[in-house]
Amino acid sequence: MENLYVVIPCYNEEEVLEKTKKVLEKKMTDLIRKKKINKQSKVIFINDGSKDKTWDLIQKFYEEDKLFGGINLSRNRGHQNALLAGLLTVKDDADIVISMDADLQDDIEVMDEMIEKRNHGADIVYGVRNSRKKDSFFKRTTAQGFYQVMRMLGVDVIYNHADYRLTSKRVLDSLADYQEVNLFLRGIFPLIGFKSDIVYYERGERAAGESKYPLKKMLNFAWDGITSFSVRPIRLILNIGILILVLSILMILYSIIQKVFGNTVDGWTFIVCSLWLLGGIQMLSLGVIGEYIGKIYSETKARPRYIIDKYIVER
């Protein structure tokens, strides 16, 4: 029997937290009763600088029931950093850790199966969505496109796996050695290695509240996964490059039309087309190179990835 810690990053989740707590309380007592996990197992909520009552709720849960604990970050650091803070903070007390979202979109019932696979020797058990029926068409296509692009670029990611996974303590000890500031956790775990397994589940709808990943955050996250980070002025160059490339296509069409109607001097079409196309490609390339320089810039600063204000747990 192992000590299980469930870590849950929370950002402005007051609407759903009571429900999440209830569901997990039932699941954990059930697992403890069935002797699948140790009695000292815990559920730790990480408050990622919420502006609402999230931290008050977490403190209340902790007061009422020592199954629950909390980590309060000094400010909002984003989902990946909050998750990392949770994983690295609890790893010394836990044998295995399961990470999941606060909104109950990840099916809690497959926790049994995860633990089972763990008992059969897996160090990492990935939760994989077997359908995206509940996602909007837009989210589904963009997410799937994202995984495909990642694959094409040679990044080893598990298709349709987000951050619902079980990891053993030794995996987390290895994770601590990955010092990168530009975090993309689901890309790191496959790199760590060890024996891994997969459980499939149906991803449900958010139990309450709204997504903390609006389109803009989602696009940014996807981009970070590929280049790892960006610096705004450099991103601007990239955007201008894209704009010019689009403009160049229009210009090329325009000059060809002019050519067809015979309103041109010899050689004009060719010069105009190459001018625009090359300009656009150059600007775009500059932007891409800039993205990587920006990434080096932030990595060399090696700033802390999270700062913990308080850790409440009864051991």
Q: Which residues contact ligand UDP by CB under 6 A?
A: 9-11, 13, 48, 76, 78-79, 82, 101-103, 105, 211-213
- Interface residue with Mg ion, options 13, 48, 95, 103 (CB under 5 A): 103
Phi first, then psi, for residue 210 (nearest 5°) are -120, 165
- The least CB distance from residue 52 to Mg ion, in Å, is 16
Q: Which amino acid is at 232?
A: R
Specify whether the CB–CB gap between 181 and 210 falls below 8 A: no
- The least CB distance from residue 212 to ligand UDP, in Å, is 3
* Rounded-to-10 torsion of CA 105, 109, 114, 117: -150
CB nearer to ligand UDP: give 78 or 287.
78
At 119, list the tokens. 């008992």
- Interface residue with Mg ion, options 41, 105, 160, 269 (CB under 5 A): 105
CB nearer to ligand UDP: give 38 or 142.
142
Residue 20 makes contact with Mg ion by CB under 5 A? no
Stretch that binds Mg ion, among 9-17, 61-69, 103-111, 147-155 (CB under 5 A): 103-111
Please choose which of ligand UDP, Mg ion, none residue 76 contacts, taking the beta carbon within 5 to 8 angstroms, the exact cut-off set by kind: ligand UDP
d(CA 90, CA 241): 45
Q: If binding means CB under 5 A, how many residues of this protein chain bind Mg ion?
A: 3
- The least CB distance from residue 254 to ligand UDP, in Å, is 42
CB nearer to ligand UDP: give 130 or 263.
130
Stretch that binds Mg ion, among 44-52, 95-103, 129-137, 166-174 (CB under 5 A): 95-103
Q: Where are the beta strands (DSSP E) in the chain?
A: 4-10, 42-47, 68-73, 96-99, 124-131, 161-168, 196-202, 308-312
The helix or strand, by DSSP H or E, that contains position 244, with its residue range, turns out to be helix 232-260
d(CA 255, CA 269): 5
Please choose which of Mg ion, ligand UDP, none residue 229 contacts, taking the beta carbon within 5 to 8 angstroms, the exact cut-off set by kind: none
Using a 10 angstrom Cβ sphere, with 0-12 exposed, 13-18 middle and 19 or more buried, the burial of residue 231 is: middle
User: Given the rule CB under 5 A, which residues bind Mg ion?
Assistant: 101, 103, 105
